[in-house]
Amino acid sequence: MGKRIIAFEFGIRYIKVMEFIPTLRGAKVIRLKYSPISKKKDWKKESSNIIKKAILKCKKSNIETISSIPGHLFFIRTYFFPFSNMRKIRNVVRFELEGDIPLPMQDVVVDCLFMSNKDKGAEVIAFALPKSTLITYMELFPNDYKPNFLTPDLVSLSFLTPNEKSDVYGVFDLGIDKVALTVVSQGRLKIGRVIPTGFNKGPKVINEMEATLRDWRKKGIEISKAYFLYDGIKELDLEDLGSKLKIELNPLQTPEPLKKSKIGQFLVPLIGLASSFMEIDFNILGTDTDEKGKDNRKRKFVALTVCLSLLIILAIGDVSLRYFLLSRKYHAYKNEGLEIFHNFLPDVKKVVNERMQLENAFKENKKKVALLKTDKIVLFKPSRIIDLLQRGAKQGGISLVAASVEENGIIFEAETPNSKLIEPFMRKFKEHLEVIEAVVQKVDSGVNPVRFKARLKITNLN
């Protein structure tokens, strides 16, 4: 089982918690929790208790914590650099921020996020967080479970982009105590702002949203469509809000890992936090994200190699199993065929022997056989035919019981221990005499020996 990650998203008066396991397919969600914090309670103490309970409930030794905090706590700036190496950009972005924010650089932690390639360079969005704010949030966690990954909620929100074909669109979180607005361009955060007042505060928040979008339009950032989350709004008139903001609003679908949970729709930003953590594009804590990115890619490569190896092993095993089953089926059919052949072989031998005996019986009297085959004999007396019939019957294993002469034919009854001798016996007379018709009229196989009645129609009967 992989390492357990506990993700915490801090609002102003709430904490959202998600326990998950990172996989190649995304976050495998184990547990979810939504914990509001009353204004009457001490925020720091209550937040610390919620975190401790979440960690204790995990009951795993291999635990890592990650967190996102409100974006309005950061200083956010965008810059263009004439090169695109992120390691170099991270080394020089602090110099760009110096004098551009109202705090000395020794009092902030900094990281930046790649936005896009532009004119043989890179456009990045830089975040600076006061160290005092960072310490406040880090102190909420037990010493052994301090987060090793921390990001603004704006970055998490940008990872919730749906399957949108537009190059530029918005993702808004209209929450109970803050409103987060982000613009995503080609799958990456382009700009964002957090308004630390809940959407249910009414016209004031909508006016601030309008002002924000208007300011972005002046900067050349135009969006016509936005997806939104809302967890603190009882009634929302999309058409009215969309017309005021001059954009098309669409609800953001709940990701698959959260659909089974009753509170899943309120915790959607945690999926964005998990995704941003697994991508390792940004970490305000100052760890080397380039190295972590390499490690992450290395882990993915190793995982992919292992998966491919397992697939190859399974494919080889499947082919071997199919060959083994086909081989067994072939041998089973072969044995069954041999068994059928051996079962029929005695009957075949018996028929062959009986035929040979019948032929030998006719060959014993060459003169009579020659007489039957000659074309010179034209007329036969009935007594002669009956005599030949008796002799042939005796030699063919048949006993003549009775015979009577009719016009142009003879009707006789006979017995035989084997009904298979009847057909060869009748065929002999038809071949050697000018017999127009040799018909077995009746066979009584219910007795032993078998009794049958036959008729011979002969043209040259005198």
CATH of the domain at 440: 3.30.1360.100
Q: Is there a single domain that holds both residue 431 and residue 396? A: yes
For strand 248-251 and strand 225-230, is the pairing parallel, antiparallel, or unpaired? parallel
- Of 361, 382, 401, the one marking the end of a domain is 361
Output the pLDDT for position 134.
95
Q: What is Dmax (Cα atoms) for the chain?
A: 143
β-pairing verdict for 450-458 and 75-81: unpaired
Give the chain's residues under pLDDT 70: 1-2, 118-119, 161-166, 198-202, 231-238, 280, 287-301, 303, 362-380, 432-436, 441, 445, 459-462
Q: Can you tell me the distance from the alpha carbon of 388 to that of 54, in angstroms, rounded to the nearest whole number?
A: 112
Determine, yes or no, domain membership for 300.
yes
Instruction: Give the single-character DSSP code of 77.
Output: E
Q: Is residue 182 part of a domain?
A: no
Same domain assignment for residues 390 and 432: yes
Reported in sequence order, the residue ranges of 354-434 that DSSP labels E, i.e. its strands, are 399-406, 409-416
Task: Please indicate, yes or no, if residue 205 is contained in any of the structural domains.
Answer: no
d(CA 94, CA 108): 10
Same domain, 337 and 393: no
pLDDT at 9: 93
Q: Kindly state whether residues 387 and 454 are assigned to the same domain.
A: yes
Residues 374 and 442 in one domain: yes
Residue 406 belongs to a domain: yes
C-alpha dihedral sign at 189, 191, 196, 198 = negative
Task: Evaluate whether residue 312 is within a structural domain.
Answer: yes
Residue 264 lies in a domain: no
Are the CB atoms for 190 and 307 separated by under 8 Å?
A: no
Amino acid letter, 351: V
20-30 pLDDT, tens per residue? 988 877 888 88
Taken as a whole, the chain contains a residue count of 462
Q: 3-state DSSP call for residue 14?
A: strand
Domain's final residue, options 338, 361, 384? 361
Q: Which domain holds residue 370?
A: 366-458
pTM: 0.61
10 Å Cβ neighbour count for 317?
10
DSSP per residue, 442-456: EEETTSSSEEEEEEE
- The predicted structure's pLDDT at residue 333: 81
Q: What is the distance of C-alpha 177 from the center of its chain?
A: 41
Question: Phi/psi of residue 435, each to 5°?
Answer: -95, 120
DSSP code of 101?
A: S
Question: Of 309, 331, 361, which residue is a domain's last?
Answer: 361
CB 212 within 8 A of CB 76: no
Helix (H) or strand (E) holding 372: helix 366-373
Following CA atoms 107, 113, 114, 119 in sequence, which dihedral angle do they give, to the nearest 10 degrees? -40
Span 143-180, pLDDT tens digits: 989 999 999 999 988 888 666 666 788 898 888 788 88
The answer to whether position 266 is within a domain reads no
Report pLDDT for 289: 47
* Pairwise CA distance, residues 72 & 138, whole Å: 17
pLDDT at 378: 47
The residue assigned the tokens 């048949």 is: 398
384 shares a domain with 351: no
- The Cα-based distances of 126 to 41, 107, 111, 112, 283 in angstroms read 34, 16, 6, 4, 11
Question: Do 324 and 341 share a domain, yes or no?
Answer: yes
| Co-location of 377 and 395 in the same domain | yes
Residues 330 and 397 in one domain: no
Task: State how many domains the chain has.
Answer: 2
The H or E element spanning position 10 is strand 4-10
Whole-angstrom Cα distance, residue 80 to residue 413?
A: 118
Domain assignment present for residue 295? The answer is: yes
In this prediction, residue 376 carries a pLDDT of: 43
The secondary element (H helix, E strand) that includes residue 230 is strand 225-230
Residue 300 tokens, joined: 């993915």
Rounded Cα distance between 386 and 277, Å, is 110
- 384 with 452, same domain: the answer is yes
